[in-house]
Amino acid sequence: MKKLAVVLMLMSCCSAASALEPVVNLVYHYAFSENAEPASYGSGGVWLRHEFDNDILFDLDLEFERDRGKVNVAQIKFMSLPSTDLVIGRQQVGWGVGYAVNPVDVINPRPIGATFDPTFVRDGRDAVAVKHYFDNLSNVELIYAAELIETKDYEGTPLDLYFKSDAGIKAKTNFHNFDVSASYIDRGERTFDEVVQPADRVWGLEIAGTVPVIDWGIWNESAYYSDAQKLEMVLGADYYWGDYHFTCEYYYNQFGSTERTEYDFSQLMTGRFLAQDYLIASLMWAYNEKLAFTGFGFWNMNDAGLIGGGVVDYSFNDNLEFIFMPYVLKGGSDTEVGLQKSVFGRYGAEAMIKWVF
């Protein structure tokens, strides 16, 4: 109730103080698994947007969950410059053409597989970004992102402060109906609790298009870390027929290992997977305008571990939505998924009711 009161008060203040039209969402979560006790909690958010004379766009996205709140977006976009957009503030930077995996998404990465969570919201980065459009198909983008980070140990005790910064440039064009992008990212050092990822220079390539006649979408996304001399790459394809959408991706991760005995489990803290080869597939069926089903699987090709899951999404109306996400974990204790099984068990699920107004 306290969170609801805070959200409603903020919405009322913003509405009264300006022409902003807030959108509020409130979510009730209930989660359970084989080993963990059932848990329930509430979350919510407020999204504010206003455009000033078609020249300046203001966006603010606030999120609340349990006893904490955060700002996902707080940006001003200037659109009056000739063929150029300038964005200043906390913004969501999403590079890459992959569906479930985005190796090039280095500056503001999302967790692998977040695409299957309808409630996922990407954390923003404090940045300055400039995008210049040469025509409808070609552009170049420059971005500089920086923030002061407080590191903590496994018990949550503060350890140190460090400055994290990233800079990148990305050029995009189109050849024979295929979008092609090349990028360079000067990636700063990362610290995750007590695990450190060194700074690196990352070269990215993205290619995406549709194969004529058969109408299959295909893509390749690659990121080469020149200091570490490691490659991350995803090859993918998708196909729509009727109310169905099928996707399949092969993910190659040179930071991982083909031998489970060589896994570095501390890398899980950084968001990286432990193995080298993965196959990720999904099938979505839109039963009607209100109800959709999705099934997906993450298969570790090196240790045969498997994460299988699904999403049932039902919209009662434009304001009320029910989401159910079950999952199963399959793999031995020495597999990558074995660590998750030891905590959560072989299966679990999360149910959510989302109200938007």
Task: Write out the DSSP string of 321-353.
Answer: EEEEEEEEEE--TTSHHHHHHHHH-SEEEEEEE
Mean pLDDT computed over 22-39: 95
Same domain, 210 and 336: no
Q: Could you say which of 222, 253, 273 is where a domain stops?
A: 222
Q: Which of 189, 222, 255 is the last residue before a domain boundary?
A: 222
Same domain? For 86 and 214 the reply is yes
Q: Residue 38 gets which letter from DSSP?
A: P
Domain ranges, residue 274: 242-357
The predicted model gives 232-242 an average pLDDT of 97
Confidence of residue 152 (pLDDT cuts 50, 70, 90): low
Q: What is the pLDDT of residue 172?
A: 98
Residue 10: is its pLDDT beyond 60?
Answer: no
On the CB side of 147, CA atoms within 13 Å amount to 17
Whether residues 209 and 256 fall in one domain: no
Which tens digits make up the pLDDT trace of 314-355? Answer: 999 999 999 999 999 999 988 999 988 998 999 999 999 999
Q: Residue 17 domain-assigned?
A: no
In a domain, 56, yes or no: no
Q: What percent of the chain has pLDDT over 90?
A: 75
Burial of residue 225 (number of CB atoms within 10 Å: 0-12, 13-18, 19+): buried
Residue-level pLDDT at 298: 97
Average of per-residue pLDDT values in the chain: 90
Q: Are 175 and 89 found together in one domain?
A: yes
CA angle 315, 318, 321 (to 5 degrees): 35
Does the residue 72 lie in any domain? no
In a domain, 76, yes or no: no
* 256 and 295 fall within a common domain: yes
Give the pLDDT of residue 155: 61
101 and 214 in a single domain? The answer is: yes
Q: How many CB atoms lie within 10 A of CB 256?
A: 24
Q: Give the model's pLDDT for residue 13.
A: 46
Say yes or no: 91 and 179 in one domain: yes
What pTM does this model have? 0.89
Last residue of a domain, one of 222, 256, 275: 222
Model confidence pLDDT, tens digit, residues 102-115: 999 999 998 887 99
- Kindly state whether residue 8 falls inside one of the protein's structural domains: no
Is 29 a member of any domain?
no
pLDDT tens digits for 298-318? 999 999 999 999 999 999 999
- Facing residues of 86 across strands? 78, 130
Reported as a pLDDT band with limits 50, 70 and 90, residue 53 is confident
Q: Are 220 and 205 in contact (CB under 8 A)?
A: yes
Same domain for 206 and 264:
no
Percent of the chain with pLDDT over 70: 91
Assess whether 109 and 187 both reside in one domain.
yes
pLDDT the model gives residue 68: 82
Convert the pLDDT of each residue in 244-265 to its tens digit.
999 999 999 999 999 999 998 8
Lowest mean pLDDT among 89-98, 129-138, 186-195: 186-195
Residue 1 confidence (pLDDT) above 80: no
- In a domain? residue 70: no
249 and 342 housed in the same domain: yes
User: What is residue 19's predicted lDDT score, i.e. its pLDDT?
Assistant: 58
Structural domain includes residue 25: no
pLDDT value at 117 more than 70: yes
**pLDDT grade, residue 156 (50/70/90)?**
low
User: Residues 110, 184: one domain?
Assistant: yes
Assign 3-state DSSP to the chain and report helix, strand, coil percentages, each to 5.
10, 60, 30
Instruction: Please tell me the total count of domains within the chain.
Output: 2
Residues 210 and 306 in one domain: no
Per-residue pLDDT tens over the stretch 63-95: 998 778 889 999 999 998 999 999 999 999 999
Question: What does the block give as tokens for 194?
Answer: 């007590």
CA 38 to chain centre: 26
